[in-house]
């Protein structure tokens, strides 16, 4: 009877010592780093509290309910008076910052795209003008541009008394007090114009989705952009005319010293917006140029071979592919514009940094709380902008079939 061969038992390798195991060492190092960060934060908070107590400085956010006692030159959408609280001051500064950032990003994007495409124009003059614009405004400090628009362009304008006589009604005026124009006041029935406007936006969106699905299935294009624009503009306008033009304009009236009434856009806002838009658009233009040049020239030749018009070729073939390259650096420029708006304090525009981290801090001395709130606002705005741009970037990324 055959005997089974004996099996050789290979002794298992002894487990390495704790300090020789890379996985265990990594866990120890991570735990030490976390403990150090916790200790560092505790030390900072404790040291701040001790120093504030030794100097008799009160802590907490109770000051937000105290009356501010100072005026603000621009308070859109937020009712404000000198008796309002510091929390209202915070809201005013926040709204002003959001308005500048939102409007600035949109205008800078539009101007940057126009200049970026012009930089690639076959027209020699258009190309050189775009190049001159980019090289000029990109290399001048932003603060200097803000001061230039405010001190050298807007402030030297004549005053209202030099342009208008007392008792005169004014529908539009540009002076050193800003842009002043008649205030539109909706009459009975004007709300239906808004209803039609929002309904037209929804219908235009539905048409664009239908046109995209139709083109995907049949290859036939539908002018959804022009049809949508006609709906959004034409439908409310037609409703406005059919309702008998239920809108009145209340002009400003020249008093003895200044214009009263109407709508005023202060020169500080105009100067800050101009500087931010022109400066940021110069960088966006270069981003757009690089994104377009990153698209293979074969795509342009294919569109040319299919007989697509140059404007359609740029809008339907080149730009959609270039956006995948443009969006990531474009996000950084939007973030820079939002944070650069804090330079408004140089011309006394009442943004968050100026009226809250500036005036309010000087009056209350609550440096820790005010700076924490200000930092939290800018961080939140930056994160929201990044989240939206990341969402948009995920929507336009290439999808494998």
Task: Give residue 330's pLDDT band: very low, low, confident or very high (50, 70, 90).
Answer: very high
> What pLDDT is stored for residue 60 in this prediction?
75
Distance of CA 58 to the CA centre of its chain: 36
Q: CA 256, 261, 266, 270 torsion: positive or negative?
A: negative
Each residue of 13-39: pLDDT tens digit? 566 666 677 777 888 889 999 999 999
Q: How many angstroms separate the CA atoms of 123 and 137, rounded? A: 22
Residues 43-55, mean pLDDT to the nearest whole number: 79
Running DSSP on this structure, what letter comes out for residue 8? P
Task: Give residue 300's pLDDT band: very low, low, confident or very high (50, 70, 90).
Answer: confident
Kindly report each contact of residues 149-152 with a partner whose C-beta sits within 8 Å and lies 24 or more positions away, as own/partner: 149/270, 149/271, 149/274, 149/275, 150/267, 150/268, 150/271, 150/272, 150/347
Residues 213-232, mean pLDDT to the nearest whole number: 85
Asked if pLDDT for residue 158 goes beyond 80, the answer is: yes
Task: Give residue 5's pLDDT band: very low, low, confident or very high (50, 70, 90).
Answer: low
> What pLDDT is stored for residue 159 in this prediction?
86
Look at residues 43, 89, 49 and name the one whose alpha carbon lies nearest to residue 368: 49
Q: Which CATH architecture has domain 86-182+251-396?
A: Orthogonal Bundle (1.10)
Each residue of 309-318: pLDDT tens digit? 777 777 778 8
> What pLDDT is stored for residue 104 in this prediction?
96
Least confident of 114-118, 322-326, 351-355, 373-377: 322-326
> What pLDDT is stored for residue 57 in this prediction?
67
Task: Give residue 215's pLDDT band: very low, low, confident or very high (50, 70, 90).
Answer: confident
First-last CA distance in the chain? 65
Q: How many angstroms separate the CA atoms of 262 and 251, rounded? A: 5
Residue 350 region by backbone torsions, left for phi larger than 0, else alpha for psi between -120 and 50, else beta: beta
Each residue of 244-257: pLDDT tens digit? 888 888 888 888 77
**Whole-prediction pTM:** 0.83
**Would you call 247 helix, strand, or coil by DSSP?**
strand
Higher pLDDT, 7 or 201: 201
Query: What element of type H or E holds 59?
Result: none
């Amino acid at each position: 009877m055959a005997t089974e061969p004996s099996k050789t038992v290979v002794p298992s390798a002894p487990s390495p010592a704790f300090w020789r195991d890379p996985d265990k060492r990594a866990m120890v190092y991570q735990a030490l780093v976390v403990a150090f960060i916790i200790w560092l934060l505790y030390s900072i908070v404790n040291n701040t509290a001790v120093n504030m107590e030794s100097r008799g400085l009160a802590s907490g956010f109770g000051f937000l309910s105290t009356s501010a006692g100072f005026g603000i030159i621009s308070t859109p959408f937020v009712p404000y008076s000198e008796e309002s609280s510091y929390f209202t001051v915070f809201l005013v500064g926040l709204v002003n910052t959001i308005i500048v950032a939102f409007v600035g990003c949109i205008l800078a994007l539009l101007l940057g795209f126009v200049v970026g495409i012009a930089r690639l124009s076959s027209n020699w003059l258009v190309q050189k003008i775009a190049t001159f614009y980019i090289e000029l405004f990109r290399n001048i400090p932003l603060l200097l541009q803000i001061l230039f628009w405010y001190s050298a362009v807007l402030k030297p304008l004549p005053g209202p008394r030099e342009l208008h006589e007392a008792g005169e009604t004014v529908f539009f005026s540009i002076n050193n007090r800003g842009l002043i124009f008649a205030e539109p006041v909706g009459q009975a029935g004007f709300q239906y114009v808004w209803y039609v406007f929002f309904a037209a936006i929804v219908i235009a969106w539905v048409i664009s989705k239908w046109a995209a699905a139709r083109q995907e299935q049949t290859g036939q294009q539908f002018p959804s952009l022009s049809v949508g624009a006609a709906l959004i503009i034409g439908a409310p306008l037609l409703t406005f005319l059919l309702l008998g033009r239920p809108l009145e304009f209340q002009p400003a009236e020249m008093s003895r010293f200044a214009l009263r009434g109407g709508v005023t856009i202060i020169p500080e806002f105009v100067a800050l917006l101009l500087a931010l838009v022109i400066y940021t658009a110069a960088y966006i233009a270069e981003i757009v140029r690089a994104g377009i040049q990153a698209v293979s020239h074969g795509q342009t030749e294919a569109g040319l071979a299919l007989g697509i018009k140059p404007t359609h070729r740029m809008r339907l073939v080149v730009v959609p592919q270039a956006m995948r390259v443009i969006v990531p650096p474009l996000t950084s420029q939007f973030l820079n514009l939002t944070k650069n708006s804090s330079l408004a304090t140089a011309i006394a525009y009442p943004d968050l940094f100026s009226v809250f981290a500036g005036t309010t801090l000087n009056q209350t001395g609550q440096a820790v709380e005010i700076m924490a709130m200000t930092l939290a606002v800018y961080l939140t705005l930056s994160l929201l902008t990044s989240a939206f741009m990341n969402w948009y970037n995920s929507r336009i990324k290439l999808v494998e079939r």
